[in-house]
Amino acid sequence: MKNNLGKLQIFSITNEDATKKKRIDVEYYQPFFEDVVKKVAGSKYELQKLEDITLLISNGRTPSKDMYDEDNDQAGSVPIIKAGTASGRFVDLEKLEYAKADFSSGKKAQKGDIFVLSAAHQASYVGKNVSLLDIEPEQDTYFVGELICIRANQEKVLPEYLFGFLSSEVGYLLLNREKRGQTSHIYPEDVKTIPLPIPSLKDQQKIVAILGKAYEEKKQKEAEIKMILAKIDSFVLGELGIEMPEGGAERVYSVWSDEITTRLDPFYFRPIFKELDKIFSTTKYNVQTLKELSVKITSGATPLSGGDAYTEKDSGVPFVRSGDINPDNVINFDDLLYVLPEIHNKKLKSSKLKKNDLLIAIVGATIGQVAVYENDREANINQALALVRLNENVDPEYAKEFLYSKIGQMELDRIKRPVARANINLDEIGALKIIYPPKDKQIEMVGQIRKIREKARTLRQEAESVIVEAQKQTAEMIFA
């Protein structure tokens, strides 16, 4: 069988091993994992089990659909940390969703908590996302069942040190080893016995200082990236002669009954959205809907509830999900799932991707993300993505940048449905309007935007290399 690095390994285990570990899944006993454990045991520092240095190791509670606050307006509701909220190195409290107040019987999060993704269709994802809650939430905040919360006993270990270890390559492999099931899970009971080296608090502080300096440098570079990417929006709107309307989140306004045809949600009728209609009606350039500009609009599907449809990269067909669109609005092929060819050809044939297809996230936390499929390899998409195959009038890259501009995002924001899991249907995607100049100008604009994105991409790589170097340095301190 192949291990996590794709290397073929042949090995055997005894009944005694299986009885002692209470595990009968073969992957758990790979020599590859045993080598990782030996590396940890070789540290000059004392080894302790995770449960011996923590106050809490627990899943949270996931609200039922009817418990979500549909308006997400924070009135009479409680904030929830979901998997998407804890998908980076630090928990992003700006991505919180809200549940009704009676959900508050769940577990509360607090500053210093570490969150680990505990369930995924792809085994390599389990344990990969480790996030630290580095600030105290302003109000009682809860977390979902798809996350394991690990709370350090600060008399024994600094949260930042524990986070640094668990988010390292060694930490990831130790967590990933504990995965179980067809749809991979890790459980609190299993991770409690993970061994890790615990230096003195003084030595932990030295390690944390190195990591902290690296994270601060990364944050500074990320702030610079935001400034660079903001130039794209200004460029697109400037080239099209668009001045965006000003307006806040109006809470009191009236709507005539004859305006209400297909939508009843008040957000849809905010006065600022009416200003969009003026922009589309007064522009000097062409305006058409995506339906008018496309030869195909469809969405995908998840092949099966379990993992029977998935296979290895070398023998499968790429399966693109909304979370595979990275911060540069391109598909991250490193983390794709792969489906069996027969599933691709029979059950998912209506959602086959082709090069230059436009993808729009239409469900959940990533709603409004836009990308172009730039690969020659045929692929599929899941139900959280809309596929738009454009005609010759619009360059796909131009359409992506328009939809990702302020005016495009306002359009998408307007039509998303404020239900338990926000969504946009395909008819609404087809009704989105695109302002487009002649093709040669579109291509010229795309060329300028690519230069801006390349600067941001280079800076992002530099930011990641800072973290990698810091992790390498601290690993040498721990395992020397």
In tens, the pLDDT along 313-323 reads 777 888 888 77
Contacts of 193 (CB under 8 A, 6+ apart): 49, 50, 51
Mapping DSSP to helix (H, G, I), strand (E, B) and coil, where does residue 99 land? Answer: strand
Tally the residues of the chain: 480
Once rounded to an integer, what is the mean pLDDT over residues 23-31? 77
Distances (CA, A) of 309 to 302, 303, 332, 337, 353: 9, 6, 21, 10, 18
pLDDT at 93: 85
Query: First CA to last CA across the chain, in angstroms?
Result: 31
- Percent of the chain at pLDDT exceeding 90: 44
Is the CB of residue 158 less than 8 Å from the CB of residue 206?
A: no
pLDDT at 29: 79
Is the CB of residue 428 less than 8 Å from the CB of residue 415?
A: yes
Query: Strand pairing partners for 57?
Result: 150
Query: Strand pairing partners for 197?
Result: 47
Once rounded to an integer, what is the mean pLDDT over residues 417-435? 83
Whole-angstrom distance, CA of residue 174 vs CA of residue 177: 5
Whole-angstrom distance, CA of residue 70 vs CA of residue 100: 9
Contacts of 252 (CB under 8 A, 6+ apart): none
Whole-angstrom distance, CA of residue 376 vs CA of residue 356: 9
> Is the pLDDT reported for residue 305 higher than 70?
no
Residue tagged 């016995």 (tokens): 193
DSSP 468: H
Question: Which of 8-17, 44-53, 84-93, 177-186: highest mean pLDDT?
Answer: 44-53
Is the CB of residue 27 less than 8 Å from the CB of residue 186?
A: no
Is the CB of residue 430 less than 8 Å from the CB of residue 291?
A: yes
Q: Considering only CA atoms, which of 436, 428, 457, 430 is closest in space to residue 329?
A: 457
> Is the pLDDT reported for residue 207 higher than 90?
yes
Which helix (DSSP H) or strand (DSSP E) does residue 473 occupy? helix 439-479
Q: Considering only CA atoms, which of 406, 403, 327, 401 is closest in space to residue 362?
A: 403
pLDDT at 280: 92
pLDDT at 282: 92
Once rounded to an integer, what is the mean pLDDT over residues 261-266? 66
**Number of separate helices (H) and strands (E) present in the chain:** 13, 20
Cα-to-chain-centroid distance, residue 35: 31
- pTM of the predicted model, to two decimals? 0.76
Is the CB of residue 403 less than 8 Å from the CB of residue 370?
A: yes
> Is the pLDDT reported for residue 75 higher than 70?
no
Is the CB of residue 144 less than 8 Å from the CB of residue 82?
A: yes
Tokens of residue 64, six digits: 């039922």
Whole-angstrom distance, CA of residue 274 vs CA of residue 77: 30
> Is the pLDDT reported for residue 56 higher than 90?
yes
**What region does 396 belong to: left with phi over 0, alpha with psi -120 to 50, or beta?**
alpha
Whole-angstrom distance, CA of residue 410 vs CA of residue 368: 10
pLDDT at 320: 86
Tokens of residue 348, six digits: 């998912």
> Is the pLDDT reported for residue 402 higher than 50?
yes
Q: Considering only CA atoms, which of 112, 114, 155, 115 is closest in space to residue 135?
A: 112
pLDDT at 405: 92
